[in-house]
Structure 1
Amino acid sequence: MTHFGILCPAAIGHLNPMFVLGRELKRRGHRVTLFHIPDVQSKVDKAGLEFWKIGEAEFSPGTLEVMYKQLGELSGMAALNFTIDWLEKETKMLFGEAPTAISKAGIEALLVDQVTIGGGTIADFLKIPFITVCNALLINREPGVPPYFTNWEYNTAWLSTLRNRAGNFLLNQLSQKIWKLVADQRRQWNLANYTCRDDAGGKLAQICQLPAEFDFPRVRLPKTFHYTGPLQDPSGLEPLSLSPMPFPFEKLNGKPLIYAALGTLQNRKQEIFQMIAEASMELDVQLVISLGQPQIKELDFNLAGSPVVVPYAPQQQLISQSVLTITHGGMNAVLGALSSGVPLVAIPITNEQPGIASRIAYTGAGEFLPLSRLNVTSLQEIIKRVLTEYSYKQNALRLKEAIVRAGGVNYAADIVEKAIYTRKPILFDQIN
């Protein structure tokens, strides 16, 4: 038995897949403890894992909801900068408190979210192994792949490669303050400097919850990189639910169902929900909208066409009954739709969502509409196209099959166990 520790951001989209992996490891006889700020504790009571509180001075109770609200009102580069600032603050806290907490808890190995950039440094300082888990879109960079925060098309032409390099340079500048923290801390702890940013992923294994078929072609991933497919609970239920409220399934009228949601972070854009409702009202469908805001007690606005609107919904249950999912491009919603063979229309708002949206279009499983071109007419045209052209459904079903083949959480847990037991790099062709 191994006692695993988890380090990851406070966002539900990162916590849910990490906890699915944690619960599978617990099922196999291991202990798993999440180290996080006070606000997260109430959100993981039902996850069945252990919790160790850190960061109470910097992130007092109520801080997380304020952050969610601020981020939910932003988009584009403003939201990306806000996210980077939050990660910087979190990194400082982790360096200050996590090593002591992890040691006291008796942690023997760490599961580190790829965007928790300081996690590997903490593991190195404590001389314990760690596995990197890509819960969002992988951030591994190479010249042929557009930066994750862009919706640029994949193209092998030299101009596209030049464009990608420029985008990655911009990202390097934006995130430089976090990497400086890491470099300074490694020097303070007498650890070897990273030769490049990809070194932060570690040498044992990197797990990514995409199927390989949903990514752009790659030529420079480390040999220890594994596409496992979604880290989803076999029941289809998310371990961290924000709301106990029941969904009014009795309101479903039997018409083809469109499920629309903007996640739990970028969801304060009421005008987008209004456009989704107006674009769908003339179609022979029923629209369900989840606002992703369980704190709402009463809905104080009406949307065109009288869709079923709820503060929060059992997402996977509704997606599995849908003919189309409209999303902001969050990784868990997209993988949830593809796991059910449901095509998508994405309206990316910020962070990695544009990169996920571009992959939806690249794979033919749907289309996306940038905020700069979003209006009712253009949205309605895309919705009609994805609903009526069967190729989108075919490609969504193709990716569903790829997800099944990828192995999911069982495959991911096999990789983790083998890496920790052997303390050797686990190559992508060694787990079969």
Structure 2
Amino acid sequence: MTHFGILCPAANGHLNPMTTLGSELLRRGHRVTVFNFLDAQATTLASGLEFQPLAEDEFPAGSMTEGLAQLGKLSGLTAFRYTIKLMTQVSDILLSQAPATIKKAGVEALLVDQVSPEGGTMADFLNLPFITVCSALTLNQDPKIPPFCTPWQYSPTWIASWRNQFSYQLLSLLARPIREVIAEYREEWKLPLHSHPNDAYSKLAQLSQQPPEFDFPRQNLPPHFHFTGPYHNPATRKPVPFSFEQLTGKPLIYASMGTVQNRLLNVFQIIASACEGLDAQLVI
């Protein structure tokens, strides 16, 4: 039996797939503890996993929910800057507090969400093996692949590659506060500094619940990267009312923008327009 720890944001789109992985590990005889803010407690316990609260004073119950709701009202560069500010604050607090809690719990390996950039550094400091889990879009940087937050189509041309590299540099500049916080702790803990954003990800295994068909034609992923398909376990989810009687039996198209971005009404309008005239039923 191995005691696994889980590190991820306290947002449904990350917590649900990570607790699904945890539930499967639990079924296989392992012990699993989720280390998170109080907002993640109910979902964690409902999935049958152990829960260890972090930063209770800094992030009391309701604070992350409020922060994500505020983020959902923003868009564009304003939303991106708000995200960076929140992630920087979270990284700093977790790096200062979480390692001691994880060590005391006797964790032997970590599952780290890809958008929890401090997780791998905590694993390195504690000398624990860790696996990177891509609950959202795959963030691995590749000059041939457009950055995750851009609307560009894939193109193999040198112009597109130059555009992508320039955009990655801009993203790196905007995300510098997060990198600086992590670098400070790595330096203090005598860990080698990351020379590239991809250095933060696991050298053992990187898992993506995204099917490869939903991604661009990546050629430079590490050999330990695996597209696995979605992590979903209805048994660990609260039932949600739905008008099943309205389904017609036609092929079903399901549209959702996840935890934060479901307020982007123009995106749903575009999706609805694209589905007009199809012999299918759209559920938003």
Could you say whether these structures have the same fold, taking a TM-score greater than 0.5 normalized by the shorter chain as the test?
yes
**CA pair 240-59 structure 1, distance change in 2 beyond 3 A:** farther
Separation in 2 of the partners of 1:220 and 1:182?
A: 25
Instruction: Provide the residue aligned with 1:247 in structure 2.
Output: 242
Residue 383 of structure 1 pairs with residue 275 of structure 2: yes
Shift in Å at residue 154 of structure 1?
0.2
> 1:75 Cα shift?
1.6
Which residue does 1:229 correspond to in 2? 229
- Partner letter of residue 26 of structure 2? K
CA drift of 1:40 comes to 1.4
**Unmatched tracts of structure 1, length 5 or more:** 276-346, 348-368, 391-432
- Which residue of 2 is the match for residue 263 of structure 1? 258
Provide the residue aligned with 2:203 in structure 1: 203
The Cα offsets for residues 370-412 of structure 1, whole Å up to 9 and x where unpaired, read as xxxx6xxx66542225x25x9xxxxxxxxxxxxxxxxxxxxxx
Aligned residue for 2:83? 83
SS in 2 for 1:42: helix
After superposition, where does 1:10-409 map in structure 2 within 5 Å?
10-233=10-233, 237=234, 239-241=236-238, 246-250=241-245, 252=246, 254=248, 259-268=254-263, 272=265, 347=267, 381-384=273-276, 387-388=278-279
1:90–1:157 distance in 2 versus 1, CA, 3 Å: same
Query: Residue 232 of structure 1 contacts residue 238 of structure 1 at CA under 8 Å; is this kept in 2?
Result: no
The alpha carbon displacement at 1:68 in A equals 2.4
CA distance in 1, matches of 2:21, 2:247: 36
- Kept in 2, the 8 Å contact 1:110–1:130? The answer is yes
Instruction: Please report how far the alpha carbon of residue 200 of structure 1 lies from its aligned counterpart in structure 2 after TM superposition.
Output: 0.9
Q: CA deviation at 1:113?
A: 0.6
What amino acid sits opposite 2:199 in the alignment?
D
Unaligned runs of 5+ in 2: none
Cα 1:227–1:379 change in 2 (3 A) is closer
Native 8 Å contact 2:147 2:164 kept in 1:
yes
Question: Is 2:141–2:197's contact at 8 Å kept on the other side of the alignment?
Answer: no
Taking every aligned residue pair, what percent have the same amino acid on both sides?
Answer: 47
Q: Distance in 1 between matches of 2:272 and 2:240?
A: 31
Offset at residue 192 of structure 1 (A): 1.5
**Structure 1 residues 238 and 268: alpha-carbon distance in aligned structure 2, compared to 1, 3 A threshold:** farther
- Give distance in 1, aligned partners of 2:159 and 2:235: 42
Question: Can you list the C-alpha shifts for 1:268-302, whole angstroms capped at 9, x where unaligned?
Answer: 45xx2xx7xxxxxxxxxxxxxxxxxxxxxxxxxxx
- Code of the residue aligned with 1:384 in structure 2: it is E
Distance 1:193 1:159, change over 3 A: same
Residues in 2 aligned to 1:208 and 1:379: alpha-carbon distance in whole angstroms: 24
SS at match of 1:226: strand
With normalisation by structure 1, the TM-score equals 0.61
Note the C-alpha offset of 1:247.
3.3
Q: Contact 2:92–2:182 (CA<8 Å) still a contact in 1?
A: no
Q: Which residue of 2 aligns with 1:352?
A: none
Is the CA contact 1:7–1:111 (under 8 Å) kept in the aligned structure 2? yes
Find the residue that maps to 1:203 and give its secondary structure. Answer: coil
- Please report how far the alpha carbon of residue 211 of structure 1 lies from its aligned counterpart in structure 2 after TM superposition: 2.1
Is this contact kept in 2: 1:4–1:32, CA < 8 A? yes
Please give the root-mean-square deviation of Cα atoms over the aligned residues, in Å: 2.3
